[in-house]
Structure 1
Amino acid sequence: MIKKHLATILAATVLAGGFVGLSAGTAQAYPRVNKCGSGYNFKQSWNITDNHMAGLVGFIDIYYHSGNGHNCAIARGNDATVTGQHLIGVAIRRSGDSNWIQDGPGQNYTSYAGPVYVYAMGSCIDFAGELSYNEFTGNGLEVYSSKHCG
């Protein structure tokens, strides 16, 4: 299900020119932990929201390694809203490229998806995160374009 949603949204975003997620209030989340490796520095978290039901359901964390020019993305759930097992997906690409590097589709992660990496020294990156927490209606998805340029 997540692979279908993420792939559909990524394709629609490319055609529509992208959209940016909404900001939500503070909540408890699965703690941000650097799963990218040594040398990767945290840059920022972006929200994954479910605008129909729960609001803020997760985050996409972006890290950067200035020594090798690689960006790293991790998606994690907001445990204040989402508990138990759920599907989490994350994708990243260099802005302007057509191929997404992704993790999570078809998996049943309980805390985070990723890390996924892309080389983008001197360029911006696009990234997406999805969290499905109810088989019928609970699904948050955000796609961010041309963020963290460096």
Structure 2
Amino acid sequence: MKRIRTGAVVTGLAAAGLLGTFAIPASAGAAATSAPASTATAPATAPVTTASAVTASAKTATAATAPANVAYNKACGAGYGVVDHVNVGRAGTVYLTWNDRTGENCVVTVRTKPGPAVYMLAGIFLTGNTEIGASDSGAYTTYAGPVYLPARAQCVSWRGMIADQFVSAQGHCG
């Protein structure tokens, strides 16, 4: 399981103006209180963010800061239509596609902006069985994949990675 550095998340949300300032009163054991964001002077107590504030703001941050999806590049070929997608932070998008004629899924991970080669991954597996699937990974400038999996009447899990950002999803059954 990959650990997420919550400090970086909180810092990023704060930089985007999506968190209010929360302060712990000087008396020990007191509940955290909210200070107005327009305060001109720094609070006398150390700022902290409550878990509920991070959760609520994270949803807002996704909607407010998520880039437009990079367009599907049709790397899977003719007959494949986009079923779903997941943004890989601001780095790109992982697309799950389906070909009804062949009964195959295909996954491709596409960078938002092509550039110097970075580690990328595109993978697809039967849900609950990672031994049956396909993946493509390496140092790429534009996209990883396509990878294919025959999965008519079966559910798939799919994933992608760009540099150090990893995403995965499941729940599509062909």
TM-score range, shorter chain: 0.5 to 0.7
Of 95, 103, 113 in structure 1, the residue corresponding to residue 127 of structure 2 is 95
Structure 1, unaligned runs of 5 or more? 1-7, 10-21, 50-55, 133-138
Residue aligning to 1:144: 169
Alignment of 1:1-150 (within 5 A): 23=62, 25-27=66-68, 29=70, 31-49=71-89, 56-79=90-113, 83-99=115-131, 100-104=133-137, 107-132=138-163, 139-146=164-171, 148-150=172-174
Distance across 2 between alignment mates of 1:27 and 1:66: 27
State the number of aligned residues.
Answer: 113
For the residue of structure 2 that corresponds to 1:76, the secondary structure is: strand
Using the size of structure 1 for normalisation, the TM-score is: 0.66
Structure with the bigger RCO (C-alpha within 8 Å, sep 6+) is 1
Shift in Å, 1:28: 6.8
Residue aligning to 1:15: none
2:69–2:92 Cα contact (<8 Å) kept? no
4+ runs deviating over 2 angstroms: 26-29, 82-85
Structure 2, unaligned runs of 5 or more? 3-58
Give the superposed CA RMSD: 2.2
State the AA in 1 paired with 2:173: C
* Structure richer in helix, relative to its length: 2
**Higher alpha-carbon Rg:** 2
Using the size of structure 2 for normalisation, the TM-score is: 0.58
